[in-house]
Amino acid sequence: MNVLVVGATGFVGGGVARHLAASGHRVTGLARTDSAAETLRRWGVTALRGDLDEGLADVARAAGRSDAVVFAAQLDAPREGLVVAELLDAVAGTGKAFVFTSGSGVLLQRTGGAWSEDSFAEDDPFTVEPLAAERLAVEDLVRAAAGRRVRAVVVRPGMVWGPGEHGHVSMIYRSVAATGAACYVGQGLNTYSHVHIDDVARLFGLALEKGTAGALYHAVAGETPTRWIAQAVAADLDRPTRGLTAEEAVGVWGEFGALILSASSRVRAPRARAELGWRPVHPDMLAMVGDSGMRAVALAQ
């Protein structure tokens, strides 16, 4: 397939673009700068110079020329809905695949570091996290495009981890740099389901190949309470652990980071497994503990 990846220079979009190119697809990625375009070319991805602001009409035309579109850009909520709507208009009536990247933050629970027994499959009812209400509206917009002859699906990953500073492990290493201890919030029993970037990329490939129009697919491979992550990081660095108050957590990670480190977001992926045959192969996020790059994060001042 000829696939347009919007957000191809980001963490998730880049993983998807590389996987699709390695799988034999002809991949085009949106690039705002010369350096981004050069990165895409090194991955075997054709660079489309432009952006989603002044160049949105050009991106929509490229979507219309493609066999499939993956949307993995990170935009402010109001703008995201407008951009996705225009791209869906470009492929309406064609039967082409359109895969939208969401995240399990839409069903995040503000537990303040406490355990939550709630775990959600793809179409289980839930109360949306208020900050993510507009993201859920975009999910609904995409899924409804199935009624306009678009094979539109939503992929909703948990916390995505992998090479580089991504996810809870790197955030807890950063807390060592800030406080001298591996930190968690409250009891540290909150749990955020997670998935490796390579497993996410394979799910996108399967969704493009045989995803059901209007479907939602979760991407999750495992889950680890935040306190366990802190204990593993502390053992790696021979440092203590420390539970933070909500106010202290904001001082270490900022307001949004403190929210993520104190919340639960537990998901299951039965539909992705049953319909697409997806099987994640990287279930253990603690495999990042001890990585030299992570240790460098802890030493940064």
Cα angle value 237/162/46 (rounded, 5°): 145
Whether the predicted pLDDT of 217 surpasses 90: yes
262 and 201 in contact (C-beta within 8 Å)?
Answer: no
Dist CA 188 CA 185 (whole Å): 5
67 and 98 in contact (C-beta within 8 Å)?
Answer: no
Q: Establish if 273 belongs to a structural domain.
A: no
Same domain flag for 257 and 237: yes
Same domain flag for 228 and 152: no
Pairing of the two strands 68-71 and 46-49: unpaired
Q: Establish if 210 belongs to a structural domain.
A: yes
Helix (H/G/I), strand (E/B), else coil: 127 = coil
CATH number of the domain enclosing 144 = 3.40.50.720
Closest by CA position to 106, among listed 130, 83, 125: 130
Alpha helices for 74-225 (secondary structure H): 77-91, 133-144, 168-179, 197-210
pLDDT of residue 9: 94
User: What sign does the CA torsion over 186, 237, 225, 275 have?
Assistant: positive
Same domain flag for 70 and 211: yes
Q: Establish if 275 belongs to a structural domain.
A: no
Q: Establish if 212 belongs to a structural domain.
A: yes
Same domain flag for 134 and 177: no
Q: Establish if 61 belongs to a structural domain.
A: yes
For residue 234, what are the CA distances in angstroms to 184, 274, 289, 301? 11, 38, 10, 18
Whether the predicted pLDDT of 300 surpasses 80: no
Encoded tokens for 249: 């957590």
Q: Establish if 272 belongs to a structural domain.
A: no
Domain with 238, as residue range(s), is: 164-192+223-265+281-299
The amino acid sitting at 293 is G
Encoded tokens for 145: 């495009």
Same domain flag for 61 and 177: no
> In total, how many domains does the chain have?
2
Q: Output the pTM of the full model.
A: 0.96
Same domain flag for 40 and 153: yes
Same domain flag for 178 and 129: no
Same domain flag for 211 and 227: no
Full strand arrangement of the beta sheet holding 46-49: 46-49, 26-31, 2-6, 68-71, 97-101, 151-157, 216-219
Same domain flag for 227 and 97: no
pLDDT of residue 301: 54
| CB neighbours of residue 199 within 10 Å | 22
Q: Establish if 9 belongs to a structural domain.
A: yes
pLDDT of residue 207: 98
For residue 163, what are the CA distances in angstroms to 47, 64, 66, 288? 23, 33, 30, 8
Same domain flag for 292 and 212: no
Give tens-digit pLDDT for 257-281: 999 999 999 999 999 999 999 999 9
200 and 157 in contact (C-beta within 8 Å)?
Answer: yes
Whether the predicted pLDDT of 110 surpasses 90: yes
Pairing of the two strands 68-71 and 2-6: parallel
Phi, psi of 294 (to 5 degrees): -65, -40
* Residue range 239-254: mean pLDDT, rounded: 98
67 and 96 in contact (C-beta within 8 Å)?
Answer: yes
Give tens-digit pLDDT for 48-92: 998 998 899 999 999 999 999 999 999 998 899 999 999 999 999
Same domain flag for 63 and 202: yes
Cα angle value 258/256/270 (rounded, 5°): 90
Same domain flag for 104 and 141: yes
3-state helix, strand, coil in the chain (%, to 5): 50, 20, 35
Pairing of the two strands 97-101 and 151-157: parallel
Q: Establish if 274 belongs to a structural domain.
A: no
